[in-house]
Structure 1
Amino acid sequence: MKSSFQSPGMPVTPPCHVGALVVSIVSHGHGAMVQKLIWTLARLNSGVIARVVLTLNLPEAEPARPAEGWPFALQVIINAQPAGFGTNHNRALAGAREPFVCVLNPDVELAGGDPFVALVRSASMPGTGCAYPGQLDAQGRFQDSERELPTPWVLLRRHVTGRRETKADWVNAACLVLPQPVWQTLGGFDEAYFMYCEDVDLCLRLRLVGLDLVRAPVQVVHAGQRASQRRWEHLRWHVQSLLHLWRSSVYRQACQLLRAQANGAGTIGRS
């Protein structure tokens, strides 16, 4: 995968709403969740979504087609072998022509209405690397989807004291909208991360080329529980990804940048 931190800027995508967005969803046997989510996307029918790419990473049935048909182009990719989170989204969004790309988790619920017009509008603002919604849990409480750089000290402090972060150095990838030229220039996710920390790395690379992470004035429900807290295999992947992150040049450069910007634009709450 390609990544470059020498360019002083990124291509600016002009504001565009109708047919502006391609959405990538990866299912790991999420059947019922995927069916509900894609039907919800179809019912929104705002014209913002031009295409949905659904990757079935494990064997499962394709979603049933609504009687009126899909209001967007639906592409289904069936993997012969399971691939990592970043690899699946990179494949789905390779060669995208739409002005904006969206990474969307199958366990996201859009009960509050269509967030994509606001997300595309926020992502089209000059200097924006990605736009994201506020995330609520099933009880309507704000989730900690915006995080500080995961240094060993920050992770220890969080585990021991339960203290929540006060800076948005990175955001999780449950729902991200990026200008397509930005996504292509960065090369998407770093596929060296099989699972976990690929969203940290992506956000840090955006910050390193001078682009902002912008919370759009919309909310979604993300009720998913971290699998790394339930399964040893996922915990192993999480630890491996953290070790890879801490050894990376991206992390070292980001530490220097974020220290210099400690009181700058990384404060949680910027919209």
Structure 2
Amino acid sequence: MIHVAIISHGHEALLIDSKIGGLLTEHEDLTIWIKDNKPAANLKAYCAQHQVFYTDADAGLGFGENNNYLFDLIQKKSGFQADDIFLVMNPDITVTAETVFALTEKMQQSGQALATLNLYRDLAMTVPDKNIRHFPGMLSIIKMPLVNTFSETYDKDRIAGVLEDIPVEWASGAFLAFTPALYEALGGFDPDYFMYFEDVDICYRARRFHQQAVHYYPHLKAIHTAAHKNRNIFSKHALWFFHSFSKFLLRRYLRTNSAYSGKKSASSPT
């Protein structure tokens, strides 16, 4: 079973217009779980009409904590089987069910615990999304004003056309597929990151403490119409971004210089 977790924060029109990111299907091996952070009656009605699980409980949680909430809810309501996949997906992703099944099938065949696919910024799939990157370090603060990015991106053109997976350091939380066993071992996303860098952190912990890299599949594609609200340096999103950036760098330094095991409760900050 593939369990798709989607957090809506005023994205009801987008989700309805896109037919839940293109994933409305009668396939019995795929279920969609939506947590509405800004409760919308029309989204609730739409989900009821199409047999999509919907909850607006505990509105106001951060990105990571919302996904942890859905993971725990799935465990309580249906439980996870050994070959299940927990897929974290943004409401602004559009993908086919066939692509999702292809990714999870490759994960299962290869025994991979964490994977992503090739995201694009436009419908024609000509503008690549920079969803795979190297981990930022202390030098990133110095380089950031010069290169206009907080971490080095992988060159997708150099790996285009590859049919096998490529291990990368971290991938955007806009689309991340986990085995439930790894997600549980990690304690899920660290809820101490309200927004931004929770994806960097969870990929870092998976790699450092569980020897699980993110596996990137260039030939499996989806669309990501990201807003990048953190680009305005005077916005609250920018404040969240730089606060989380600093937190990750500090914690990476401390973890590098300590015996921290990497396993934690999903409800307890590191």
Report the counterpart of residue 171 of structure 1 in structure 2. 171
Report the counterpart of residue 62 of structure 2 in structure 1. 84
Report the counterpart of residue 216 of structure 2 in structure 1. 215
Superposition map of 1:94-243 within 5 A: 94=72, 95=75, 96-98=79-81, 99-110=84-95, 114-126=98-110, 128-138=112-122, 140=125, 141-154=127-140, 156-162=142-148, 165-166=153-154, 168-208=168-208, 209-216=210-217, 217-230=219-232, 232-243=235-246
Q: 1:195 Cα deviation (Å)?
A: 0.5
Give yes or no for contact 2:120–2:128 (8 Å, CA) kept in 1: yes
Assess, with a 3 A threshold, how the Cα gap between structure 1 residues 119 and 171 changes in structure 2: closer, same or farther: same
Identity over aligned residues, as a percent?
A: 23
| TM-score, length-scaled by structure 2 | 0.76
Partner of 1:115, secondary structure, is helix
Partner of 1:131, secondary structure, is strand
Equivalent residue letter for 2:191: E
Does residue 74 of structure 1 match 2:75?
A: no
Q: 1:74 Cα deviation (Å)?
A: 2.3
More helix by share: 2
Assess, with a 3 A threshold, how the Cα gap between structure 1 residues 113 and 254 changes in structure 2: closer, same or farther: farther
CA distance in structure 2 between the partners assigned to 1:255 and 1:125 by the alignment: 36
Give yes or no for contact 1:37–1:106 (8 Å, CA) kept in 2: no
Report the counterpart of residue 6 of structure 2 in structure 1. 25
Give yes or no for contact 2:47–2:53 (8 Å, CA) kept in 1: no
CA distance in structure 1 between the partners assigned to 2:52 and 2:253 by the alignment: 36
Structure 1 gap segments, 5+ residues each: 1-19, 257-271
Deviations 1:154-193 (A, max 9, x none): 3543541358534832111111111111111111101110
Structure 2 gap segments, 5+ residues each: 156-167, 259-270
Deviations 1:16-71 (A, max 9, x none): xxxx111110000011112124272114x44431x21111101312434489x64x
Give yes or no for contact 1:132–1:215 (8 Å, CA) kept in 2: yes
Equivalent residue letter for 1:186: L
Equivalent residue letter for 2:105: R
Assess, with a 3 A threshold, how the Cα gap between structure 1 residues 39 and 198 changes in structure 2: closer, same or farther: closer
Q: 1:254 Cα deviation (Å)?
A: 6.0
| TM-score, length-scaled by structure 1 | 0.75
Give yes or no for contact 1:25–1:106 (8 Å, CA) kept in 2: yes
Q: 1:102 Cα deviation (Å)?
A: 0.6
Q: How many equivalent residue pairs? A: 230
Equivalent residue letter for 1:144: K
